[in-house]
C-alpha cells in the first residue's frame, strides 16, 4: 500500500498494518472537521479530541450523516460488495463487534422499509439504523490500532465525503444476503 493512502497521527501506523480498502485509516484534519460538524458544538468536539485524543466520540446523526449498524460478519460482506461492485462506501468503522457505515442523512428512515419491501426476511440479519434524534459512538480520530475494539475501516478524509444512500445500501445488503444464501 503506498504512503499516500495512509494518514497517520502521532504514534504512526504499525509496519505490519494492512488495509483492504483504499482510504485513510485515520480521519484527516478535514475528515475530523466534517465529523465535528455533525455536532451543534463542533469547537467543543474538537476541544474534547485535543484533550482526550484516544477517547471514542459520541456524535449526533441526522445532519451530517446517518449510521447503519450491522452485525460484523454481514457488515463486512456488505462493505466488500460496496467496494467490489461499486460505488465504494463512505466512512466505515468497527465498534463493539458491529460495523457502522455512515450514510447520507435520511437513510435511517428509508432503509428498513426498503429491506422489508424486498422481503429478504431472515437472510438479512437485523440492521439498526440511526438517524435524526439518535447518536452513535465512533472510534477516536487520533488513536493507534492497539485498542482493537473500535477502529476506522474507511476514515473520513474530506469535508464533504460521499455517503451512500438507502438505495445503494439496499442493494449491497441484497447482494450480501444472496452470496450468503448461495
Q: Give me the pLDDT at residue 182, please.
A: 63
pLDDT-derived band at 128, boundaries 50, 70, 90: very high
- Residue 88 pLDDT exceeds 70: yes
Q: Give me the pLDDT at residue 24, please.
A: 59
Q: Give me the pLDDT at residue 142, please.
A: 75
For range 145-162, the mean pLDDT? 81
Neighbouring C-alpha atoms within 13 Å toward the C-beta of 83 = 15
Distance of alpha carbon 154 from alpha carbon 164, whole angstroms = 13
Per-domain boundaries in the chain: 21-181
- Residue 19 pLDDT exceeds 80: no
Distance of alpha carbon 106 from alpha carbon 34, whole angstroms = 18
Q: Supply the angle between the helices 166-181 and 107-117 in degrees, to the nearest 10.
A: 40
Residue 122 is classified by DSSP as G
Measured distance between the N- and C-terminal CA atoms of the chain, rounded to whole angstroms: 32
Distance of alpha carbon 71 from alpha carbon 94, whole angstroms = 10
For residue 95, what is the enclosing H or E element? strand 92-95
Alpha helices in the chain (DSSP H): 29-37, 42-51, 72-84, 107-117, 166-181
Q: Give me the pLDDT at residue 12, please.
A: 35
Tell which phi-psi region holds residue 116, choosing left (phi > 0), alpha (psi between -120 and 50) or beta. Answer: alpha
Beta bridge partners of 136: 59
What global pTM score does this model have? 0.82
Distance of alpha carbon 149 from alpha carbon 180, whole angstroms = 25
23 vs 135, residue with greater confidence: 135
Amino acid at each position: 500500500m503506498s504512503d499516500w493512502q495512509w494518514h497517520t497521527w502521532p504514534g504512526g501506523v504499525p509496519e505490519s498494518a494492512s488495509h483492504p480498502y483504499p482510504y485513510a485509516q485515520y480521519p484527516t484534519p478535514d475528515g475530523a472537521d466534517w465529523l465535528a460538524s455533525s455536532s451543534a458544538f463542533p469547537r467543543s468536539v474538537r476541544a474534547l479530541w485535543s484533550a482526550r485524543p484516544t477517547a471514542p466520540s459520541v456524535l449526533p446523526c441526522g445532519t451530517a450523516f446517518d449510521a447503519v449498524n450491522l452485525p460484523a460478519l454481514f457488515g463486512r460482506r456488505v462493505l466488500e460488495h460496496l467496494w467490489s461492485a461499486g460505488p465504494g462506501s463512505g466512512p466505515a468503522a468497527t465498534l463493539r463487534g458491529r460495523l457502522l457505515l455512515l450514510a447520507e442523512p435520511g437513510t435511517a428512515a428509508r432503509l428498513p422499509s426498503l429491506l422489508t419491501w424486498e422481503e429478504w426476511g431472515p437472510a438479512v440479519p437485523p440492521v439498526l439504523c440511526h438517524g435524526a434524534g439518535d447518536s452513535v459512538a465512533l472510534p477516536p480520530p487520533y488513536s493507534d490500532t492497539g485498542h482493537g475494539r473500535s477502529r476506522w475501516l474507511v476514515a473520513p478524509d474530506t469535508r464533504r465525503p460521499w455517503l451512500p444512500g438507502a438505495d445503494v445500501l439496499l442493494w449491497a445488503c441484497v447482494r450480501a444476503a444472496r452470496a450468503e444464501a448461495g
